[in-house]
Amino acid sequence: MSEPLLVLDDVRAFYGNVPALFGVSFDVAEGEVVALLGANGAGKSTTLRAISGVITATGRITFAGRRIDGRTPDDVARLGIAHVPEGRGLFRSLSVRENLRTGSFVLPRGSESAEDTERVFELFPVLRARASQQAGTLSGA
């Protein structure tokens, strides 16, 4: 059996002095789909922030066999883990297409291609219709 793609082992996190995660452990195999479920305040977002390096956590987090705990968010993103927070976290001064392209900035130069954008438009057709629209507006005004 192969090594899991993502492993959290006894991960704990705090916001200041307030404990937010209490020894979270799980693993995810390549190709597996996993959902974090729980009530508000249960630690779902905090777990994702710990994985992506947005908050400091203790314990062990590995991705594709490499330790990622203690790395910066941009280092984690370069390894292929993206954290997309809920809500309307957009760059309002950019178009919808430009907002989509921001995710490619951590890729090696020249990696982002028209094919990548086309794939996103196939998955989310409404984005194609709004590609030139300023992000965060309903009418494009």
Boundaries of domain holding 102? 87-141
The neighbouring-strand residues paired with 63 are 6, 66
Residue 27 has pLDDT above 90, yes or no: yes
Residue 111 has pLDDT above 60, yes or no: no
1 inside domain: no
**Domain end: 78, 96, 128, which one?**
78
**Arithmetic mean of pLDDT, 24-36:** 94
Side-chain-side CA neighbours of residue 45 (13 Å): 8
Which residue in this structure is represented by tokens 């993206």?
Answer: 82
What is the percentage of the chain residues whose pLDDT exceeds 90?
41
What is the percentage of the chain residues whose pLDDT exceeds 70?
84
Residue 141 has pLDDT above 50, yes or no: no
Structural domain total, the chain: 2
CATH number at residue 43: 3.40.50.300
Q: What is the pLDDT of residues 61-108, one digit of tens each?
A: 999 999 999 999 888 988 888 777 666 667 778 888 887 777 666 556
Cα angle for residues 118, 122, 127 (degrees, 5° grid): 85
Q: What is the pLDDT of residues 35-47, one digit of tens each?
A: 999 999 899 999 9
